[in-house]
Amino acid sequence: MGQSRSCYQRKTLQRTGNQAEMKFSSRRRKMVVSRNESIEQDDSSEYDRKSEVHSFDDSKMGVKGLLDAGVTKLPCIFLHNQYVSEKKSDPDVTSKFSIPVVDFQGLGNSVAQRADIVREIKNACENWGFFQIVNHEIPSSVKEKVLKGVRHFHEQDSEVKKEFYSRDVTRKVTYNSNFDLLKSPTANWRDTLYCVMAPNPPDPEEIPEVCREALIEYTKYIMKLGITLFELLSEALQLKSDHLKDMECAEGLFITGHYYPACPEPDLTLGLSGHTDSGFLTTVLQDQIGGLQVFHKNQWVDVPILPGALIVNIGDLMQLITNDKFKSVLHRVLAKNVGPRISVASFFRMHFQEGSESRLYGPIKELLSDGNPPIYRETSRKEYVTRLYNKGLDGTSLLSPFKLQKYSKRIYRYVSTSSQHLTVNKL
Residues interacting with ligand AKG, by CB under 6 A?
256, 258, 272, 277, 284, 286, 292, 331, 333, 343, 345
Nearer to ligand AKG, 195 or 333 (CB): 333
Nearer to ligand AKG, 121 or 345 (CB): 345
Nearer to ligand AKG, 40 or 316 (CB): 316
How are beta strands 30-33 and 130-134 bridged, if at all?
Answer: unpaired
Nearer to ligand AKG, 110 or 288 (CB): 288
* Shortest Cβ 290–ligand AKG spacing (Å): 9
Q: Please answer whether residues 43 and 27 qualify as being in contact, where contact means their C-beta atoms are separated by less than 8 angstroms.
A: yes
* Shortest Cβ 331–ligand AKG spacing (Å): 6
* Shortest Cβ 150–ligand AKG spacing (Å): 11
* Shortest Cβ 124–ligand AKG spacing (Å): 17
* Shortest Cβ 277–ligand AKG spacing (Å): 5
DSSP state at residue 164: T
Nearer to ligand AKG, 164 or 179 (CB): 179
* Shortest Cβ 157–ligand AKG spacing (Å): 24
CA distance linking residue 244 with residue 246, whole number of Å? 5
Nearer to ligand AKG, 59 or 286 (CB): 286
Phi, psi for residue 92 in degrees, rounded to 5: -65, -40
- Residue 194's DSSP bridge partners are 174, 256
Phi, psi for residue 251 in degrees, rounded to 5: -75, -45
DSSP state at residue 394: S
Percent helix, strand and coil across the chain, each to the nearest 5 = 30, 25, 45
Query: Which residue of the chain is nearest ligand AKG when measured via CB?
Result: 343
Q: Please answer whether residues 107 and 224 qualify as being in contact, where contact means their C-beta atoms are separated by less than 8 angstroms.
A: no
Residue 238 φ/ψ region, left for φ over 0, alpha for ψ in the -120 to 50 degree band, beta for the rest = left
CA dihedral angle for residue 109, residue 110, residue 116, residue 118, rounded to 10 degrees: 80
